[in-house]
Amino acid sequence: MVQIVNNKLFSGISPKELLEATYKASENFQVRAFFEAKEEILKTGKYSEQEFYEILDTMIDAETERKIVLDQLRGKKPLFLEEITKSIKAFLAENVIRDVIYLKEQGYVEEQVEIKTKTVIKKIKGEEKEVEEKEYFYRYQVKEVPHDFTEHYFEPVSIVFDSGVCCYCGWCSSVCPVNAIEVTADNLEIDDNICMKCGLCFTVCPRSFSIDQAYQSIKKLDKSLTYSEKIGGYINAYTGTTTKDEIKKVRQDGGIVTSLLEYLLENKLVDAIIAVQHSSDLWRPEPIIIDDVKDLYKTGGTKYANAPSLKIIDQAKKYNKIAIVGVPCMMKAIEKGTLFPSGLPFFKNIKYKVGLFCMESFSYLDIIKLAKDKFNQDINELTKMNIDKGKFIITLKSGEELAVDLKEVQSYARDNCHYCEDLTSDYADISVGSIGSQSGYSSVITRSKEGEEIFKGAVDAGLIEYQNLKEVKPGQGLVERIAISKRKKCKPIILETQKE
Ligand SMILES: Cc1cc2nc3c(=O)[nH]c(=O)nc-3n(C[C@H](O)[C@H](O)[C@H](O)COP(=O)(O)OP(=O)(O)OC[C@H]3O[C@@H](n4cnc5c(N)ncnc54)[C@H](O)[C@@H]3O)c2cc1C
Ligand code: SF4
Ligand code: SF4
Ligand code: SF4
């Protein structure tokens, strides 16, 4: 039997089952909070009435689907996500996976973790040694809950901020339907008088609950991808450089990012791009919307201070198709918005995610301090900062380069970066960094059909020259080694309520 509800298919579900699930979905706290705040939401002007109902509609559909998945999972023994997708055929496998993870957060499903130890042979300082490695296995089962159980309520993201783990990506601020959140590069404030306690900000925040298990299982389903524990799911890995002299003047490494963005704008694959430029304070990055190629070059080059780029996404709503450049935590934030609460009902115009590699970032004030302490330089004298071959390197206006060991500057990095496990922007369509490539080149990892297409499109347009990353030294091996060491060092995120 196939039910068509709001143009979506609920196949193999009986009308009774569907009706009950829809009724339960309408009682969900997020759906209710959103519905009840209709007037306030429309007053902010963020969404038109039609958009408001479209969002509500997708929220109810997603919640209905979850209730059906919950019912079909009841009474089953603990199962791996892959096994669950085989046993529940009513929905796409990736939907079932995201539903189970969300049901866990709602308090209906428990996650059981089994740890096994295996012995592997590793080359350490040229010598082969036996090393013990832990492997983690995650299974999921519906919990026995009391009859009067109420599903978990999601807090606003002040809880993430108060726990000291907010990475200031800015996503919650764009998503909040009543504009209650103000995020800067180092602060987050919620206006309690406006907040309607819908918890949507918490749902999409990359630092609230983890989507790592969902991500891994979904990527493993996609047979067009190679899945690596170190660098995530990918199609190809390249090393490349721009062919354009104007881009060479402003680029950080291979100028790949600027070349890709130029290709996207010139070929009208997007109407606008969200990137960062220097603000009136040199080296303090400022998020910017670019809709004209002539403004693109001012975004070239890495600013190592963080900027909450995602907070301006809602300002780009007027464009039909946009691309976003950002660090891994931002790519994860958008992916979370795509999975939850209902398949990216908020900013459907995001077409391409161009991710950067990122080991850590710094607050603007700490960058100034670093330049003074380690190089005895005023920040305004710097024309470039770079991390290469284990060194933090600055270039002065005179052209002189000064370097210190990377270890010496690591204490200046933001604390909240220590909760970040992703070096290579696993959640992007295409990821770009310097590790693995020669100077003047960037390492590029394509992770989706779209990412591969735009890379090859820019190559065909004569903007980029490339080779396979495995054909060069230090190559993909180094990217993988540094990526896994970042994962191992990452601190677990514990929110204030979980500490009690
Ligand atoms: C904070 C930070 C840390 C990094 N750490 C590493 C690292 O450890 N290892 C590594 O291999 N690579 C790292 N990178 C990536 C690397 O510095 C280059 O950005 C990447 O190699 C692309 O070079 P490109 O020449 O192709 O980019 P370009 O063509 O020069 O374009 C650079 C793009 O980066 C964007 N950008 C610059 N600064 C920021 C920022 N603060 N936030 C968001 N977007 C920004 C610009 O908008 C521009 O679109 C880091 C980047 C950042 C922003
Ligand atoms: S969405 Fe980003 S800015 Fe907002 S609380 Fe989470 S990490 Fe911080
Ligand atoms: S701050 Fe968060 S909980 Fe409050 S209205 Fe905005 S999105 Fe909803
Ligand atoms: S290390 Fe992680 S949290 Fe810090 S800026 Fe980079 S991606 Fe964001």
Q: How far is the CA of 91 from the centre of ligand 4 (A)?
A: 34
Ligand 3 pocket, Cβ-based, cut-off 6 angstroms: 156, 176, 178, 180-181, 190, 195-201
Which residue in this structure is represented by tokens 């601190």? 491
CA angle at residue 256 from 252 to 257, to 5 degrees? 80
Which residues have C-beta within 8 Å of that of residue 208, sequence separation ≥ 6? 154, 157, 159, 160, 202, 495
Distance CA 57, CA 219 (A): 27
Nearest to 354 by CA among 326, 333, 316: 326
* Residue 147 amino acid letter: H
Q: What is the pTM of this model?
A: 0.95
Mutate to test the pocket of ligand 4, among 160, 167, 432 (most ligand atoms within 8 A of CB): 167
Fill in the DSSP letter of residue 390. T
Mutate to test the pocket of ligand 3, among 34, 35, 43, 198 (most ligand atoms within 8 A of CB): 198
Q: How far is the CA of 190 from the centre of ligand 3 (A)?
A: 8
Distance CA 485, CA 489 (A): 6
Q: How far is the CA of 208 from the centre of ligand 2 (A)?
A: 8
Q: Which atom of ligand 4 is closest in space to residue 167's alpha carbon?
A: 3
Ligand at minimal distance from the CA of 173 is 2
Q: Where are the alpha helices (DSSP H) in 27-91?
A: 29-36, 38-44, 49-73, 81-87
Residue 226, beta-bridge partner list = 234
Distance CA 11, CA 95 (A): 14
User: Which tokens hold the place of 121?
Assistant: 């042979």
Q: How far is the CA of 319 from the centre of ligand 4 (A)?
A: 27
Helix 49-73 crosses helix 15-26 at what angle (to 10 degrees)? 120
Instruction: Label residue 427 left, alpha or beta by phi (over 0 means left) and psi (-120 to 50 means alpha).
Output: alpha
> Residue 207: its pLDDT value, please?
97
Q: Which residue is closest in CA terms to ligand 2's atom 4?
A: 172
> Residue 237: its pLDDT value, please?
98
Contact 279, 332 (CB under 8 A): no
CA angle at residue 307 from 304 to 311, to 5 degrees? 160
CA distance to 122, 293, 349, 488, per residue, from 134 (Å) = 14, 49, 41, 11
Ligand at minimal distance from the CA of 337 is 2
Distance CA 237, CA 53 (A): 42
User: Which tokens hold the place of 498?
Assistant: 């979980």
SS3 at position 174: helix
Distance CA 177, CA 357 (A): 31
Distance CA 323, CA 344 (A): 15
Contact 297, 317 (CB under 8 A): no
> Residue 500: its pLDDT value, please?
53
Q: How far is the CA of 189 from the centre of ligand 3 (A)?
A: 11
Distance CA 462, CA 243 (A): 7
Distance CA 145, CA 123 (A): 49
Distance CA 25, CA 21 (A): 6
Q: Which atom of ligand 2 is closest in space to residue 171's alpha carbon?
A: 1
Ligand 2 pocket, Cβ-based, cut-off 6 angstroms: 157, 160-161, 166-172, 183, 188, 205-207, 333
Q: How far is the CA of 464 from the centre of ligand 4 (A)?
A: 27
Ligand 4 pocket, Cβ-based, cut-off 6 angstroms: 167, 306, 327-329, 358, 360-361, 417, 420
* Alpha carbon of residue 469 to chain centroid: 24
Burial class for 194, CB neighbours closer than 10 Å (0-12, 13-18, 19+): middle
Distance CA 492, CA 497 (A): 14
* Residue 280 amino acid letter: S
Q: What separation, in Å, do the N-terminal and C-terminal C-alpha atoms of the chain show? A: 47
Q: Which atom of ligand 3 is closest in space to residue 172's alpha carbon?
A: 7
Q: How far is the CA of 358 from the centre of ligand 4 (A)?
A: 6
pLDDT tens by residue, the chain, 500 residues: 445 444 455 777 888 888 888 888 888 999 999 999 999 999 999 999 999 999 999 999 999 999 999 999 999 999 999 999 999 998 999 999 999 999 999 999 999 999 999 888 887 778 888 888 889 999 999 999 888 898 898 999 999 999 999 999 999 999 999 999 999 999 999 999 999 999 999 999 999 999 999 999 999 999 999 999 999 999 999 999 999 999 999 999 999 999 999 999 999 999 999 999 999 999 999 999 999 999 999 999 999 999 999 999 999 999 999 999 999 999 999 999 999 977 788 999 999 999 999 999 999 999 999 999 999 999 999 999 998 888 999 999 999 999 999 999 999 999 999 999 999 999 999 999 999 999 999 999 999 999 999 999 999 999 999 999 999 999 999 999 999 999 999 999 999 876 55
Q: Which residue is closest in CA terms to ligand 1's atom 4?
A: 358
Q: Which residue is closest in CA terms to ligand 4's atom 5?
A: 361
CA distance to 22, 177, 197, 284, 453, per residue, from 181 (Å) = 31, 10, 12, 22, 36
Mutate to test the pocket of ligand 2, among 161, 209, 414, 427 (most ligand atoms within 8 A of CB): 161
DSSP string over 126-137: TEEEEEEEEEEE
Nearest to 65 by CA among 31, 33, 113: 31
Question: How many Cβ atoms are within 10 Å of 99's Cβ, its own excluded?
Answer: 26
Torsion sign (Cα): 412, 415, 419, 425? negative
